[in-house]
Amino acid sequence: MGDSLSAAYNLRQQDGWVSLLEKQLSQSNPEIKVVNASVSGETTQGGLSRFPALLESHKPTWVILELGANDALRGYPLNQTTINLETMIEQAHQANSSVLLIGNQIPQNYGKRYTEMFFNLYKDIAEKYNLAYLPFMLQDVALNKELMQNDGIHPNAKGQPIVLKNILPHLETLLDKNKE
């Protein structure tokens, strides 16, 4: 459940990190079906409006929740972003789904206070709900022009495997918990 960072923006679907995850899991865990419900431009409000139907139709064991960057880039109130994310987490838990929360960072030109508040809201939510949590999926990608598209926001095809490498240890923790 994500935005353009998970929807393979401006790439072939098979080059995005979610498709790469699906390919990898098909070999190691063929029983796991990956559903990419990410939409480019998605906000937490849009995600929240679609989420109950997705939970109902797919009945996921795990949910990777990567939303909020577009809220921040549009200057939405962070308290509403928090409420929307927390509501989706609560809905996932009610549907017996474990959640991996993926945080994000926004450019510093949004101001130090807002960018820090945005970054920290994910950590606070993860602590509140005791979630598997990745603070920043674009670690080692975002500042490397060779791994980013010309817009400087979205990873290119070379950057996608690194994004997956960042996410995988956190997801494997959830997969392992389910085996216990």
CATH number at residue 120: 3.40.50.1110
What is the C-alpha to C-alpha distance for residues 26 and 32, in angstroms, rounded to an integer?
A: 7
Joined tokens for residue 176: 């392992």
pLDDT for the residue numbered 179? 61
Domain count, the chain: 1
Q: Which domain holds residue 88?
A: 13-165
φ, ψ for residue 98, nearest 5 deg: -85, 150
Residue 43 lies inside a defined structural domain of this protein: yes
> Average of pLDDT values for 144-171?
96
**pTM score, whole prediction:** 0.95
Residue 1 lies inside a defined structural domain of this protein: no
Active-site annotation, residues: 4, 151, 154
pLDDT for the residue numbered 176? 78
